[in-house]
A = this chain, B = another copy of it.
């Protein structure tokens, strides 16, 4: 989970830490599909064939929640030659760059949300589907006070849903 090596993730994490990478470019909500290359460059990543394709699949349709496997299948269906390992690498790099957000919801699969801004989720049990919750639909009135010496990184809320019994 923690990219400690410098092998696969190249210098993206380091550069992001030094603030050399913009991450969220100028208020982009759903990155423009016609400029994945620019997005990649901004993220400090080389624009290779597979990354462009993956970026296109991810951001073309806006607000999506996908697992590595899902993206991999889409890529294969779209006749884009790519390996699962590369899908994982790309997803992680885009996450580090701040263009994707990882959502831990049920302990097994990991979801990546193309909406990297602060918001919460509905999770439909059984269907394993994730839905964004409109930001203004939930309000955390009193932010909890973290223990001494710690600071809040982010707050994730998951509202678990079930089909109504009727």
Q: Which residues of A contact B (CB under 8 A)?
A: 1, 102, 104-110, 120, 122, 124-125, 131, 133-134, 137-147, 149-165
Q: Is the CB of A152 within 8 A of B161?
A: yes
What are 7 A-B contacts defined by CB distance under 8 Å? A107-B107, A138-B143, A149-B163, A150-B163, A150-B164, A153-B161, A155-B159
Shortest Cβ-Cβ A-B pairs, 7 listed: A141-B141, A139-B141, A153-B160, A104-B107, A150-B161, A107-B110, A157-B157
Q: Is the CB of B153 within 8 A of A162?
A: yes
Q: Is the CB of A140 within 8 A of B162?
A: no
Nearest residue, chain B, Cβ from A164: B151
Copies of this subunit: 2
Q: Is the CB of A145 within 8 A of B151?
A: no
Q: Is the CB of A152 within 8 A of B159?
A: yes
Report B-chain residues with C-beta under 8 Å of the C-beta of A125.
Answer: 153
Q: A1-B107, A104-B105, A107-B107 are in contact. Are A145 and B153 (CB under 8 A)?
A: no
Specify which of B1, B105, B108, B146 is in contact with A122 (CB 8 Å cutoff): B146
